[in-house]
Amino acid sequence: MSTLTTTRTEPTGARALAKRLSLHLDTLPTAAAVAIFIGMIVYGEAAYGRIVQFNTLSNLLINNAHLIILAVGLTFVILTGGIDLSVGAVIAFSSVAGVMLMNAGWNPWLAVLLMVLIGTAFGAASGVLVQHFHVQPFIATLAMMFLGRGLASILSTVPERLADDSPVRSLGAQIKVYDGPKVNDVVLTPGVIIAAVVVVAAFFVLHRTRMGRTVYAIGGSEQSAALMGLPVAATKMWVYIISGTLSGLAAVVYTARLGSAQNITGIGWELDAIAATVIGGTLLTGGAGFVLGSVVGALVLGLMNVLITRDGGIPPEATTIITGGILLVFVLLQRAVLARRRE
């Protein structure tokens, strides 16, 4: 009700801006994430140099492609007001299983397909637990997390190496797009391209399809969405399936780049992905956020690691503290925005 005004004049200048901002208050946290990202780049360039370079930025994308994919999946779930804690464990199980099957002589591409489908199956299981057995998303996906991690450890507890001549490694192979001076080239991997396609597709689904709008509506009020006649049950199933499937895909991208898989891979990645999503401006309570924000969030986390490595003086253990600090700032920012919106 704060937008009630007593004047009837057309808004001008500052008022018009204020009005535009109040129309798009939801974008504020995401805009802040972009600002922080740019700020970090500028600071890094000034303090350590060699940040605004083709190869540094290319590597940032290559090294974080899997995190971007995970964050996109979590964005769907979190937008509905849910959570998916199983994504890191799914990566472990999916990648160990995939590599072992390839090494056992399976057709590598068939194994890759299976890796993705393992994710789908885990997502579907979470979805059924949440939707049909009314288990809290936190608990349901926590159970899936333990299950995934356990299965991965049953399969193997040592690193499983992907054969050097495995065609799957081509997904992690670097492609020089632009040949700059010395090593300063623009390089991509198929993994990065996959991540980009995932982001674009997710953006389309969320903003241009009825299913996507239902995701937002559920996050706003699940009860209202149901009474509006929206397919709430199906959509909630779908978001977990999407998140699971994308974890499977992230497992493929990560394994292809690293060339090996292990049962302890991906510990804590669910939290990185959640952090990326929240930093990118998605409300943990659901209903507001942007998939592009989550991409920026993932890049903020990646860049932070780069800067800490460059600095050399900051102990790596401090990384988590800094991540926590950034997260806190964003959560506070979101609270402020929520409070304004409620007015």
Partner 1 sequence: MSESLPIVEMAGISISFPGVKALDEVGLRLFPGEVHTLMGENGAGKSTLIKALTGVYRIDEGEIRISGEPRLLGGTADAQHAGISTVYQEVNLCSNLTIGENVMLGHEVRGAAGINWRATHRAAGETLEKLGLGHLNPKQALATLPLAVQQLVAISRSMVAQCKVLILDEPTSSLDANEVEQLFTVIRSLRDQGVAILFVSHFLDQVYAISDRLTVLRNGRFEGEYRTHELDRAQLISKMIGKDVDALKSLDAKGARRVRSDAAPLYSAKGIGRKGAIEEIDIDLHRGEVVGLAGLLGSGRTELARLIYGADRPDTGEVTMNDEKAEITSPAKALARRIAFSSENRRDEGIIRDLSVRENLILAVQARRGWARPLPRREQDAIVEKYVSALGVRPADPERPIRLLSGGNQQKVLLGRWLATEPDILILDEPTRGIDIGAKAEIQEYVAGLADDGLSVLFISSEIEEVVRQSDRIVVLKDHRKIAELEGGQGVSAESIVNVIAEDGLGDPSADTAVREEVTT
Establish if 12 lies at the interface with partner 1 (CB under 8 A).
no
Q: Choose which of 228, 328, 329, 336 interacts with partner 1 (CB under 8 A).
A: 228
From CA 56, how far away is CA 45, in angstroms rounded? 11
Under 8 Å CB-to-CB from 181, ≥6 apart: which residues? none
Q: Choose which of 18, 22, 154, 335 interacts with partner 1 (CB under 8 A).
A: 22
Q: Choose which of 3, 158, 164, 312 interacts with partner 1 (CB under 8 A).
A: 3
Establish if 303 lies at the interface with partner 1 (CB under 8 A).
no
Establish if 190 lies at the interface with partner 1 (CB under 8 A).
no
Distance of CA 45 to the CA centre of its chain: 26
Establish if 336 lies at the interface with partner 1 (CB under 8 A).
no
The binding track of 269-298 with respect to partner 1, each residue x by CB under 8 A or -, is ------------------xx----------
Q: Choose which of 104, 223, 315, 316 interacts with partner 1 (CB under 8 A).
A: 223
Tell me the three state secondary structure of residue 174: coil
What is the number of residues in the chain? 343
Q: Are 168 and 108 in contact (CB under 8 A)?
A: yes
The distance of closest approach from Cβ of residue 5 to partner 1 in the complex, given in angstroms and rounded to an integer, is: 5
The torsion angles phi and psi of 268, rounded to 5 degrees, stand at 85, 0
Distance of CA 192 to the CA centre of its chain: 14
Q: Choose which of 176, 208, 264, 332 interacts with partner 1 (CB under 8 A).
A: 208
Q: Pick the closer one to partner 1 by CB: 172 or 286.
A: 286
Q: Pick the closer one to partner 1 by CB: 5 or 170.
A: 5
Residues 120 to 139: which contact partner 1 by CB under 8 A?
Answer: none
Q: Choose which of 225, 239, 276, 307 interacts with partner 1 (CB under 8 A).
A: 225
**How many residues bind partner 1, per CB under 8 A?**
39
Establish if 157 lies at the interface with partner 1 (CB under 8 A).
no
Count CB atoms within 10 A of the CB of residue 155. Answer: 17
The torsion angles phi and psi of 221, rounded to 5 degrees, stand at -165, 110
The binding track of 231-260 with respect to partner 1, each residue x by CB under 8 A or -, is x-----------------------------
Handedness of CA 16, 288, 293, 200 (dihedral sign): negative
Under 8 Å CB-to-CB from 98, ≥6 apart: which residues? 111, 112, 114, 115, 118, 251, 252, 255, 261
Establish if 30 lies at the interface with partner 1 (CB under 8 A).
no
The torsion angles phi and psi of 22, rounded to 5 degrees, stand at -70, -25
The residues that touch partner 1, with contacts defined as CB under 8 A, are 1-8, 11, 22-23, 25-26, 204, 207-210, 213-214, 216-217, 219-221, 223-231, 287-288, 341-343
